Structure 1
Amino acid sequence: MGISDFFSDVWDSFSLPSPDAEAPQGGVSTDTPASGTDEESSEEAEVNKQDAKDEGESEEQGHKPSSEDEDEEEDEEEEEEETQDPKDVLEKECAESKSCAGPKHHYDECVERVTGQIEKDGKAHEDCVEEFFHLAHCATQCAAPKLFAQLK
């Protein structure tokens, strides 16, 4: 495909349709209202009246909703099936332990500063990403040997 073929294809895709395009087949029906209107044909009105009568006479059909007790039992079963990741548990314990007290202290101070800035000025002039990564690194280093000991 040459450059001229490329440009001719582009020109053809953006050009207007040819005037010899076929007209849509069929015509406009005068029996029913045009789509998008709020008019109701006589057939539709009759069917709607019949539906209204049927709803009043018959009881509700379909799926019976389950009771709240059944929903609670299902939720409890789902919660029991989910197990916690031991890595997350160990890292949380390590983040709160004495071995990560320094990074945790720095992170907590930063959070207090940033929160104060937001309350005072409506925006923060810094973030605590660096302190968070120091704490996460410490927690990971502390949890790794314990995790691998559990996996063996």
Structure 2
Amino acid sequence: MGFWDTITDLVEAATPWSVAEAEAPAHETTEETTAETTQEETETKAEAAAAEEEPAAEEEAAEDEEEEEEEEEEEELKDPKDVFEEECRNSKECAPAKHHFDECVERVTAAQSEEGGAKEDCVEEFFHLAHCATACAAPKLWSVLK
């Protein structure tokens, strides 16, 4: 790889206007016929398997119920970072950033209902609020993780 190849690769990687290529959508007619044939095949296989293995199905159902109970217990865990950030967003410390964000949302919503549309977005205000919430939640999170 030469010097100019390296420079060209760096420029192509850094340019935001590079071409994005996507795959062409698949033909729907072949998918529909394939889906119909596979559905018929699975139905016939399911009927044959059900007739042969009724006792085994009951055992599998009991095992599935046990697995579902274990999954339910695991789902109860919440990320403490999200909880702390939500508390901080609503706290007195981040009240100014939240106030600016809420005002911006109201302005943009009102502008969208008019004919001209919204000429601004609330990205800057959102990031100020997110930064404030993260900065507020970080010490609390570290104390919990230690």
Aligned to 2:141: 147
Aligned to 2:118: 124
Q: How many residues align?
A: 90
Separation in 1, partners of 2:109, 2:71: 37
Deviations 1:29-77 (A, max 9, x none): xxxxxxxxxxxxxxxxxxxxxxxxxx8xxxx33357x99xx78x93x65
Separation in 2, partners of 1:78, 1:133: 35
| Structure 2 residues without counterparts, runs of 5 or longer | 1-43, 51-56
Aligned to 2:73: 80
Shift of 1:143: 0.5
Separation in 2, partners of 1:79, 1:116: 43
Give the structure with higher Rg (CA). Answer: 1
Separation in 1, partners of 2:132, 2:118: 26
Deviant stretches of 4+, over 6 Å: none
Shift of 1:123: 3.3
Shift of 1:147: 0.6
Aligned to 1:25: none
Aligned to 1:38: none
Separation in 1, partners of 2:93, 2:72: 32
What is the RMSD of the two structures over their aligned residues, measured on CA atoms? 2.9
Structure 1 residues 81 and 103: alpha-carbon distance in aligned structure 2, compared to 1, 3 A threshold: same
| Structure 1 residues without counterparts, runs of 5 or longer | 1-54
